[in-house]
Structure 1
Amino acid sequence: MSSGLQKTLGCGCSAVLAVVIVISFVGWALSLMDNVAPSRQLEQIPADVPPARGEVVPEIDIEAAGRTSQHLGFWAEPIAIDTGISPQALMAYGNAELVARKLWPNCNIAWTTLAGIGQIETRHGTYNGKLFGGSSLDENGYADPPIVGVPLDGSPGLAEIPDSDGGKWDGDTQFDRAVGPMQFIPESWARLGLDANGDGEANPNQIDDAALSAANLLCSAGGDLSTPEGWTTAVHSYNMSNQYLLDVRDAAASYALRQPAI
């Protein structure tokens, strides 16, 4: 037998063995699946505008010292399991709804709308645009690492917004960049940013501050978000895109059903 033929037969045997191993593994895996509970069947998302309000946010003392959102942990944790939103983000959205109810009583903003925007902007402080190494919200509600967008330098598809904060929030002294879990431009943050975690500073990287400031933006633009017109105007103030509006609506409606955004 020639050495060439031996090599050929050797490779053939290896290939056959590999196929046998794969088939065996697949069979073993399928046998295990018989004992696994079926995946959750998600409900169809309603097309209502505005989307439903979702689980009622319980009353807490929003004027207490410190980070009041933490008093919503008992409410957020079971919803987090069902929706895939972190408790840190859910507490911030719920807290923002309660504070907005006092500051802008005619706005009627719901935490689900804020969560819809948080999903599309940064997946609740976890998407930072990098292929490897996403962000997460730490125990104090800060995105780690901080989430900073591309320079708004007038490139195709981008507005041109010169630096407005000396690079304080975005690290860019030439152009503004969107910052934090709710992706605020520093120029907008200077007008709309609010302190919600009780540390005396409005910081776009902190989810409580970012969520309440997003409510400020939406309520200022839309008026009454319980109406289709008000909700549409408010969301368009965040991003003048009909696809963006539909994406936010669908995410918010899914969260109202206590299920992940589809």
Structure 2
Amino acid sequence: MAEPTQPGDARIRRFSLRVLTGAAVAGTGLVLILTIGVTRPGETPPQTQPAAGARTSGPPPGATAPPPGRLAPEDRPRESDLRALDTWSNEIAAATKLPARLLAGYGRAEMWMRAEWSGCHLSWATLAAIGQAEAVGTGPLPVPEDSWKQWSARATGDGKQPDPKDIDDAALTVARSLCSTGADLATPQGWWAAITGSPTLAPEAQLIFDTATTLAQAAPRA
């Protein structure tokens, strides 16, 4: 896409919190925040590995991943894709009854993740479901302060700093935090690990799953 700026190269910390086990923490239940680098769109992101002794959340028995729903428009790095994104978001809004402005932010984040973390396969439907579960209404996704410090990025090329009140920036930040786990969200193991690995999202994991499934199924096919 022509509009978004590229995320910075500064070292940042991963969003997902893991329980640190072993003799070094002797019954304290301390939290370890894993650190990885940020890649620019088009670069190969670093491979992430669970820390020694860390516990990886898995899906409930028999669980599946939500269907992806209709894909957001193709990312066009050398030309504007705003018209295609607006058309897509209006069509999804008519079917799901969600505001087109919110859907455009979720769709833009999905487009970004295809380049930044191509193996993540994050769907706009999951971001929309998180928004519904967190009761955002017509506003941006709420982002925990620590996550914002680690993963915030400006989604449009206007030269401004990322703004947590901007739906595009908030959606992109949440998307980056989920994909930073290295999980493939198209799989049950990856989707549930990414959602339940977030302390703020874990209690709402089943609701997010159900809502993402409903939204994806309601969206019209291409």
Q: Quote the offset at 1:122 in angstroms.
A: 2.9
Cα deviations across residues 5-54 of structure 1 (Å, max 9, x unaligned)?
A: xxxxxxxxxxxxxxxxxxxxxxxxxxxxxxxxxxxxxxxxxx95210000
Q: Quote the offset at 1:241 in angstroms.
A: 6.1
The structure carrying a bigger strand percent of its residues is: 2
Q: 1:87 matched to which residue of 2?
A: 100
User: What is the distance in 2 between the residues matched to 1:69 and 1:119?
Assistant: 24
1:187 matched to 2:149? The reply is no
Q: 1:96 matched to which residue of 2?
A: 109
Q: Quote the offset at 1:237 in angstroms.
A: 3.0
Q: Compared with structure 1, are the counterparts of its residues 208 and 257 closer, same or farther at alpha carbon in structure 2 (3 Å cutoff)?
A: same
Q: 2:72 matched to which residue of 1?
A: 57
8 Å contact kept, 1:57–1:94: yes
Q: Compared with structure 1, are the counterparts of its residues 196 and 62 closer, same or farther at alpha carbon in structure 2 (3 Å cutoff)?
A: farther
Q: Compared with structure 1, are the counterparts of its residues 58 and 93 closer, same or farther at alpha carbon in structure 2 (3 Å cutoff)?
A: same
User: What is the distance in 1 between the residues matched to 2:171 and 2:99?
Assistant: 14
Cα deviations across residues 66-101 of structure 1 (Å, max 9, x unaligned)?
A: xx6564111111210121111111111111111101
1:111-130 to 2 correspondence within 5 Å? 111-123=124-136, 126=137
Letter in 2 for 1:211: A
8 Å contact kept, 2:129–2:212: yes
Structure with bigger RCO (C-alpha 8 Å, 6+ apart): 2
8 Å contact kept, 1:72–1:95: yes
Q: 1:157 matched to which residue of 2?
A: none
Q: 1:149 matched to which residue of 2?
A: none
User: What is the distance in 2 between the residues matched to 1:62 and 1:86?
Assistant: 26
User: What is the distance in 2 between the residues matched to 1:222 and 1:115?
Assistant: 21
Alignment root-mean-square deviation, CA: 2.2
Q: 1:154 matched to which residue of 2?
A: none
User: What is the distance in 2 between the residues matched to 1:76 and 1:217?
Assistant: 23
8 Å contact kept, 1:222–1:231: no
Larger radius of gyration: 1
Q: Quote the offset at 1:221 in angstroms.
A: 2.1
1:1-12 to 2 correspondence within 5 Å? none
- Name the TM-score, length of structure 2 as normaliser: 0.64
Structure 1 runs of 4+ with >6 Å offset = none
Give the count of matched residue pairs.
157
Question: Which blocks of at least 5 consecutive residues in structure 1 are unaligned?
Answer: 1-46, 127-135, 137-142, 144-180
Letter in 2 for 1:76: S
Task: Report the secondary structure of 1:55's partner residue.
Answer: coil
Q: Quote the offset at 1:258 in angstroms.
A: 1.4
Question: Which blocks of at least 5 consecutive residues in structure 2 are unaligned?
Answer: 1-61
User: What is the distance in 2 between the residues matched to 1:113 and 1:63?
Assistant: 28
Q: 1:8 matched to which residue of 2?
A: none
8 Å contact kept, 1:196–1:212: yes
**% identity of equivalent residues:** 34
User: What is the distance in 2 between the residues matched to 1:111 and 1:212?
Assistant: 11
8 Å contact kept, 2:71–2:123: no
8 Å contact kept, 2:153–2:173: yes
Cα deviations across residues 188-208 of structure 1 (Å, max 9, x unaligned)?
A: 211110110222321111111
